[in-house]
Amino acid sequence: MVSPRLGVVVDRGIVWIIGLLLVTLCACQTNVEQAYPSRPLTVIVPWKAGGGTDTATRALAAVLQDELGQPVNVVNRTGGGGIVGHYALSQAQPDGYTLGAITVEITMMHWTGLTPLDYTNYSPIALVTVNPSAITVRSDAPWEDIHDLIAALEADPGTLTASGTSLGGIWDLCRIGFLEAVGLDQSAMPWVPSQGAAPALQELLAGGVDVVTASLAETDALRRAGRVRTLALMANERLSVAPDVPTLKELGIDYASEGGWMVLAAPENLPNARLELLRVAVWNASRKPEFSVPLERAGFRLRHLTGDALETFLREEDHRSGILLNEAGLAL
């Protein structure tokens, strides 16, 4: 009873399907070569919505679309400690319509063997933000300044613990770099892994760990609320948002780190003309006060690097991450 009707159904169905496809194909215009950019851009963020990278990227996208005259959409491709999003960007078409935020983790993950990807798999456009690590303790902690903390670590190595991210994450590397700079072994302040800065701060408040080395942007709310104190900033200069927090260098400790930076990048082999256009657009966009003022207020540091300077920056960061991960015993 089915077959004769089914035949008619299939015939009519095919006609309709072809019609439907044609209509939708026309609706989404085919790619005739036009001046770049002629359609909306997508920016991939490898971290979840609401995090630091996401906030900075969305703020940049909002001003970038005025510069480019096309909508700039931000999508989050999260998971795997950032691998998923970084991988997705490296696989995208290098046509300038898919960009992405790459973060410090891209200089770390290939050393630990999680992925073969490294910074050379991208065409970097510009450095946007750097997020220096801040040494943060509970507000009722007995140490007045960083030297008290170092004295306590020297007197009783291994009793104080630190947290901020997973084992071998960026804030863990900052801890190792700091301990090394003051002449201590990394076991003097063991690392307690956490799923990010917020859970680590929760542990800090509850007395589970003693020090958090996450960025100032991440700890600033608690600092302003008077729950934690920031002993020092691992940066070359103070942040305008926290002018009273000294840097390690001012305190006589020769260590500074860029912390968690974010670079806007395209997949490898982006045509030079489009790369240049994007460089100019990002430079103009990042100077706008509606982008810079709220981000600086939220504890980000804006830093603009592009071209050869950016290449050098990435190469040095990659080299540094390799050394520190090796010392942590996590590199392959």
Q: Spell out, one character per residue from 260 to 299, where the chain touches another protein: x when CB under 8 A holds, - when not.
A: ------------------------------x---xx-xxx
Phi-psi region of 310 (alpha: psi -120 to 50; beta: other; left: phi over 0): alpha
CA distance 261 to 317: 10
Q: Which is nearer to another protein, 133 or 306 (CB)?
A: 133
Q: Which is nearer to another protein, 40 or 183 (CB)?
A: 40
Among 140, 272, 329, 332, binds another protein (CB under 8 A): 329
Contacts of another protein in 2-41 (CB under 8 A): 9, 12-13, 16-17, 20-21, 24-25, 27-28, 40
Q: Spell out, one character per residue from 37 to 76, where the chain touches another protein: x when CB under 8 A holds, - when not.
A: ---x-x-----xxxx--xx--xx-xx--------x-xxxx
Contacts of another protein in 138-157 (CB under 8 A): none
- Position 81 contacts another protein (CB under 8 A): yes
Q: Which is nearer to another protein, 174 or 201 (CB)?
A: 201
User: In this structure, are residues 85 and 46 in contact, taking their beta carbons and an 8 Å threshold?
Assistant: yes
Strands (E), the chain: 41-45, 72-76, 98-103, 122-130, 134-138, 162-163, 211-212, 228-233, 262-267, 301-305
Contacts of another protein in 93-132 (CB under 8 A): 112, 114-115
Contacts of another protein in 156-185 (CB under 8 A): 161, 166-169
Q: How far is the CB of 230 from another protein (least distance, A)?
A: 13
What CA–CA distances, in Å, run from 90 to 5, 59, 130, 282? 50, 23, 22, 20
User: Which residue has tokens 């946007």?
Assistant: 128
Q: How many CA atoms lie within 13 A of 232 on its CB side?
A: 25
Residue whose C-alpha is closest to residue 300's, from 222, 234, 218, 228 = 218
